[in-house]
Amino acid sequence: MVSALPAGPDGWLLDITESGDGRSVVLWEKSRRDGRVRRTALEYRPPFWVTGPRAELVRLAGRLGSHSEVAAVALGSGRPSLFDRRPRPVLSVTPATNPGRRALARTVDALGGYTTFTLYDVDLSPPQLYHLAHGLYPFAPVAGTGTRLTATEPAETIDYVPPPLRLARLEVRLLGERRGRIPPPDGRIGAVRLGEATLEGPEEDLLRALVDELARSDPDVLLTQGGDSFDLPWLYRRAAACGLGPGEFALGRERVGFGPARRASTFESYGRVLHRSAFFPTPGRFHIDRENSFLYDDAEIAGLVDAARLSRLSLQTVVRQSPGTCFTAMEMAHALALGVHVPWKKNRPEGFRRADRLVAADRGGTIFLPPVGVHDRVEEFDFASLYPHIMVRKNLSAETLECRCCPQSPIRAPGLGYRSCLGRVGLIPRTLAPLLARRLAYKAALKRPGLAAEEAARLRRRVKMLKWILVTAFGYQGYRNARFGRIECHEAINAYARELIAALVPEAERAGYAVLHGIVDSLWLRPQDPDRIPDPEAFAARMSARFDLPLGYEGRYRWIVFLPAVTHGLGVPNRYYGYYTHGEFKLRGIGGRRHDTTGLVRRFESEILSLLRTATNAAEVRALLPRLLARADLIAARVRAGDWPVEELLVSHRIGQPPGAFVTFTDSVAALRQLDEAGSERGAGEVVRFVLLERASRSFRHRVRVAELLDGSERYDRDAYLELLARDAETLLAPLGVDRASLLERWGVAASPERAPYRSPERAAQSELPVGSGG
Amino acid sequence: MGRTAPTYRQALEERMKRWDEFARLLTTPEERAAFEIVRTGARRYAAQATYVGSPDLLESILLSVLTDLAARLHAVPATRDSRR
């Protein structure tokens, strides 16, 4: 007799993965009754679509009919493109195996000379397509079984109960090694921690015990710190060394080979070279590597579950990809729901334009130069998700801009004249509107009285996740690879935003404010008359109604400092710090916010800020200067004494190019050589961390010491760190008249000696540099 | 992120590199200080110049410099009076 459960779903669909046989997908369903996870394999080979002239399609169908990689071809008609107004001939091609999908698509594309055919849905994965074709999504509450599995509520449901996931931390320790060191190539595993259990013993027994423990505690999520680059590959490597095969050793709920599903790679994003570790599959079980996830830290599981539901991407994918990938997947989901398919290669090149038009169109948002100095009585106003709201309100989407159906449309981008369609809602607004509604609903729910702390934390994570996705929605309009993006959308959004700020300036002045600073969607205003302070909430409400866009009141600053550029002394738009009347700092562009800052600088800044916390207005900030300088002197004295802990002196540097490509001998090059000598290779996009020992040294062993090789006996370069400190003090306190040169003089640091360049006559002196290994 | 046209701020900095050559042959501290004022003035109204989006870079630079100078004149009435 089974005990009765309250009404609700039978369970949750956790994930859909591709099966090893290449012809099926595997559904992983977690039972609500006993929490066990059931595996169901279903045959599924989705087709992709090809359009082109009918005669060419018929010829193609004939040629593919006998192709061994093709299971089926069928000629029909449809409107696969977002721009299609009338049906046209479409050939559906079903690959013989799912992994052969892309290769077959490339063959088709080549047969058409890369111009005849347009291909659709090629790079959507079978699990993604299965979700969309069957009304399913990750973490859906489900009823039924097999092919008749149905979601009991739509993915867009705002108030949902997430499935209870079992999380377990996984951590591998090598025999006699500390974490953070360079592991020896044959390092044996001494202990493994899984959740509450710590396993030890001879290696092979330990690995077998790990498999047993995984079966016993059966976690849904493995949480690691660096698992993609260390723990997982090391487990597989040692399992293989012990002679275990996939039959005996598996970390997922299914046996798979020990190799990575994706190799490590280097890529570029927003001008930065980044590194992504390899990815080892654990089918049926999620592996989240906090070090390899852009989103995990901000959104945690609650936010990721939300993103997976909306994008129909596996949690495993969401956690390793950028928010832009999630947004693109959401667009794809909406497109397929409209009966539109996803073009494989974007076939909408930018049209040619006159140069002056291009200059006029290709402009960003409005960014003022703030007045350098300390200010008080400053009010801050921000538009929430301004760009997404503009896209929705103005119906901005690739297919709705300059449409043929609405030549008289009054919705026109200011200054550019691009028209928006009045007849149909574009794909981008369709995708964004529910996200905006969702974010607002979560924010409203957060304000509910008596909200449980746990629920509040969950909502905050979902809000953050959505924020990231909404931010990328704009950037992707101008990205060359964005499937549904169009550069004119990008330009139109900026044009509307610029117009908005321009219209707000006189409105703010009429309300009694003076505009101090503004960046794209934020304004810093000060009352013109200190005795007549306008009501900021009323102003925000009035402007929201006037412009039909949500302007929010962020708060009043007791004081705010706008910082100058070192090069020209004028204000830098995004470099400031201030203290709100509600007792919170806002810091932008100063050292402590940067990832490469040393602990020393972070410590210095936090001490300066805690002194400044007592100031209630600009005059009090200025009056604190002697105390701030005294604090700086104190820290400088300790640095000079040579006993600052070296861990707080670690400088991080992200390598922007392959180690062999450096031509000058920098601190980073010295660090790379040290790592190389110790048997640890780093690629472009990875981070090196080191302590400066002797900056003027041309020996890679003496110049720096990498974090992995620190032993505590290092004597750091005091002048170099005093210089770092002085530079940061100048950044923070320049508006109070502090400059680097006089600080250094005060601390008795001689001007830094000129260092001979690497390629110099003294090159002979660089005897310790290995010859021929780059440089 | 590829963009076809440089931003106004980029174009301005590019143009100002040429100005450095001009400044090298200024011979008195007063002239150099005056030149710094012009340089600062050129940078001060980048937001406004971007908003206009004029294809004529020099027009935007001149407007920025002139506005800056006019604002300085306005802020120092004594100087203005003594020149009358």
Comparing A537 with A658, the larger pLDDT belongs to A537
pLDDT for residue A600: 93
DSSP letters spanning A225-271: SSIIIIIHHHHHHHHHHTT--TTT--SSSS---SS-SB--EEEEETT
Of A356, A364, A366, the CB nearest to B7: A364
Residue B27 has pLDDT above 50, yes or no: yes
- State whether A415 and B53 contact (CB < 8 Å): yes
Q: What is the pLDDT of residues A376-390, one digit of tens each?
A: 999 999 998 999 999
- State whether B50 and A359 contact (CB < 8 Å): no
Residue A775 has pLDDT above 70, yes or no: no
Say yes or no: B16 contacts chain A, CB-CB below 8 A: no
Domain boundaries, chain A: 11-43+140-149, 48-123, 167-284, 364-397+486-583, 590-775
Residue A1 has pLDDT above 60, yes or no: no
What average pLDDT does the segment A463-484 reach?
79
B55 located within any domain:
yes
Contacts of B43 in chain A (CB under 8 A): 369, 568, 570
Distance CA A68, CA A772 (A): 49
Say yes or no: A162 contacts chain B, CB-CB below 8 A: no
CA distance A527 to chain B (A): 21
What average pLDDT does the segment A557-582 reach?
91
User: Please, which contacts does A176-184 make with residues 24 or more away whose CB atoms are closer than 8 Å?
Assistant: A180/A707, A180/A708, A181/A708, A182/A675, A182/A678, A182/A679, A182/A680, A182/A708, A182/A709, A183/A230, A183/A234, A184/A679
Q: Read off the pLDDT band of A5 (50, 70, 90).
A: low
Best of A353, A357, A359 to disrupt the B interface (most B CBs within 10 Å) is A359
pLDDT for residue A773: 38
Could you tell me whether strands A286-289 and A221-224 are parallel, antiparallel, or unpaired per DSSP bridges? parallel
Question: ipTM of this predicted complex?
Answer: 0.73
Q: Read off the pLDDT band of A518 (50, 70, 90).
A: very high
Residue A348 has pLDDT above 70, yes or no: no
CA distance A564 to chain B (A): 12
Residue A753 has pLDDT above 70, yes or no: no
pLDDT over 70 for what percent of chain A?
91
pLDDT for residue B42: 93
Contacts of A366 in chain B (CB under 8 A): 47, 50-51
Say yes or no: B40 contacts chain A, CB-CB below 8 A: yes
CA distance A293 to chain B (A): 22
Q: Read off the pLDDT band of A30 (50, 70, 90).
A: very high
CA distance A368 to chain B (A): 5
pLDDT for residue A65: 87
Q: Read off the pLDDT band of A640 (50, 70, 90).
A: very high
Distance CA A232, CA A524 (A): 49
What average pLDDT does the segment A647-666 reach?
84
- State whether A480 and B46 contact (CB < 8 Å): no
- State whether A480 and B2 contact (CB < 8 Å): yes
What average pLDDT does the segment A55-82 reach?
92
- State whether B4 and A368 contact (CB < 8 Å): no
Compute φ and ψ for A356, nearest 5 degrees.
Answer: -70, -35
Say yes or no: B3 contacts chain A, CB-CB below 8 A: yes
Residue A107 has pLDDT above 70, yes or no: yes
Weakest-pLDDT range from A14-23, A108-117, A250-259, A674-683: A674-683
- Through-space distance between the first and last CA atoms of chain B, rounded to whole angstroms: 53
b/e burial code for range A237-246 (CB count within 10 A of at least 16 → b): ebbeebebee
B63 located within any domain:
yes
Tell me the pTM: 0.83
- State whether A362 and B50 contact (CB < 8 Å): no
Q: Read off the pLDDT band of B81 (50, 70, 90).
A: very low
Outline where DSSP puts E strands in A619-678: 651-654
Residue A767 has pLDDT above 50, yes or no: no
Query: Which CATH fold topology does A364-397+486-583 show?
Result: Palm domain of DNA polymerase (3.90.1600)
CATH of domain A167-284: 3.30.420.10
Say yes or no: A647 contacts chain B, CB-CB below 8 A: no
pLDDT for residue B58: 93
Of B43, B46, B55, the CB nearest to A359: B55
Distance CA A39, CA A186 (A): 36
The one-character DSSP state at A301 is H
Residue A765 has pLDDT above 50, yes or no: no
Nearest chain A alpha carbon to B7: A363
Largest Cα span, chain B: 53
- State whether A270 and B43 contact (CB < 8 Å): no
Say yes or no: B43 contacts chain A, CB-CB below 8 A: yes
B1 located within any domain:
no
- Rounded to the nearest integer, the mean pLDDT of chain A is 87
Could you tell me whether strands A24-31 and A150-151 are parallel, antiparallel, or unpaired per DSSP bridges? unpaired
pLDDT for residue A130: 96
B78 located within any domain:
yes
Nearest chain B alpha carbon to A357: B55
Say yes or no: B17 contacts chain A, CB-CB below 8 A: no
Residue with tokens 């029909």: A76
- Structural domain including B64 reads 8-83
Question: Are the C-beta atoms of residues A21 and A313 closer than 8 Å to each other?
Answer: no
What average pLDDT does the segment A538-565 reach?
94
b/e burial code for range A559-586 (CB count within 10 A of at least 16 → b): bbbbbbeeebebbbbebbbbbbeeeeee
Q: What is the pLDDT of residues A254-290, one digit of tens each?
A: 888 888 887 777 766 656 666 777 788 899 999 998 8
Distance CA A41, CA B44 (A): 65
Question: Are the C-beta atoms of residues A710 and A646 closer than 8 Å to each other?
Answer: yes
B47 located within any domain:
yes
Q: What is the pLDDT of residues A174-231, one digit of tens each?
A: 887 666 677 777 788 999 999 999 999 999 999 999 999 999 999 999 999 988 888 9
**Which tokens is B30 given?**
């007063």
Question: Are the C-beta atoms of residues A648 and A621 closer than 8 Å to each other?
Answer: no
CA distance A270 to chain B (A): 6
Say yes or no: A479 contacts chain B, CB-CB below 8 A: yes
Comparing A60 with A712, the larger pLDDT belongs to A60
Q: Read off the pLDDT band of A769 (50, 70, 90).
A: very low
pLDDT for residue A716: 94
pLDDT for residue A478: 65
What region does A142 belong to: left with phi over 0, alpha with psi -120 to 50, or beta?
Answer: beta
pLDDT for residue A193: 94
User: What class, spelled out in words, does domain A590-775 have in CATH?
Assistant: mainly alpha
Of A271, A369, A415, the CB nearest to B47: A369
Number of domains forming the structure of chain B: 1
Distance CA A488, CA A357 (A): 12
CATH of domain A48-123: 3.30.70.120
